[in-house]
Amino acid sequence: DTGVSQDPRHKITKRGQNVTFRCDPISEHNRLYWYRQTLGQGPEFLTYFQNEAQLEKSRLLSDRFSAERPKGSFSTLEIQRTEQGDSAMYLCASSLAGSGYNEQFFGPGTRLTVL
Amino acid sequence: TQLLEQSPQFLSIQEGENLTVYCNSSSVFSSLQWYRQEPGEGPVLLVTVVTGGEVKKLKRLTFQFGDARKDSSLHITAAQPGDTGLYLCAGYAGGTSYGKLTFGQGTILTVHP
């Protein structure tokens, strides 16, 4: 395991459908983050896990969004009843708590297109 | 709410030129990270600066953290086409921020051969 992996890399769905993305962090990392990035912008924070506990959620994360990290390893991000405004790149990052400066390492992202 | 203002938003230069990207905030950060991102990929960490006034060099890239830890700059010497990409600065506030990063809007750099 050399880095953060995300699946799928691309997802095209119709408005109103549910989608689920998966993130596998670097194996020894106990912190996991989800960010969303729209074209021409920097990533925006969505939510954060330390081990299996979800410790913070952004106001950007509406009730249609839910994230889990059931065993403190991989994480899933589900979007229910997708809207066209959900189209974006969803990025996952991981870091090691106590490593000092919270350097985060990102996966390749999942590009979501809602038609 | 902490904000990072990154400038310029776009840079188009010829191979061999020098350039500087700026990242400014009114807030103090515990550390600041610079990333480079290719189209369709996730950001790749270039460097982390943590001490006010710190200067770090990575080959032709020089990163500086402001004395007050509110601003940072990235300077590229003799840019090459391979430097083309989106450059992002990201600040970590520390404390109760739980480690989330606040990103600037990014600088799209294009280096023409």
Closest CB to B103 among A42, A55, A100: A42
- On the 0-12 / 13-18 / 19+ scale of CB atoms within 10 A, B42 is buried
Please check the confidence at residue A20 and state whether its pLDDT lies above 70. yes
pLDDT tens-digit series, residues A73-85: 999 999 999 999 9
Identify the pLDDT of residue B54.
95
Residues of chain A contacting B50 with CB distance shorter than 8 Å = 100-101
Please check the confidence at residue A1 and state whether its pLDDT lies above 60. no
Chain A interface test: which of B1, B56, B100 (most A C-beta within 10 Å)? B100
pLDDT tens-digit series, residues B8-21: 999 999 999 999 99
B30 and A101: CB-CB below 8 Å? yes
User: What count of other Cβ atoms lies within 10 Å of the Cβ of residue A48?
Assistant: 24
Closest CB to A41 among B100, B102, B105: B105
Q: pLDDT-derived band of residue A25, with 50, 70 and 90 as boundaries?
A: very high
Say which residues have a Cβ less than 8 Å from residue B31's Cβ, sequence separation at least 6: A101, A102, B48, B49, B50, B91, B92, B94
Please check the confidence at residue A61 and state whether its pLDDT lies above 80. yes
Q: What is the rounded radius of gyration, in angstroms, for the C-alpha atoms of chain B?
A: 14
State how far Cα B47 lies from the chain centre: 9
Identify the pLDDT of residue A99.
66
3-class state of residue B82 by DSSP:
helix
Identify the pLDDT of residue A100.
65
Q: Which of A29-33, A49-53, A73-77, A99-103 is predicted least confidently?
A: A99-103
Average pLDDT over residues B27-47: 94
Question: B42 at the A interface (CB within 8 A)?
Answer: yes
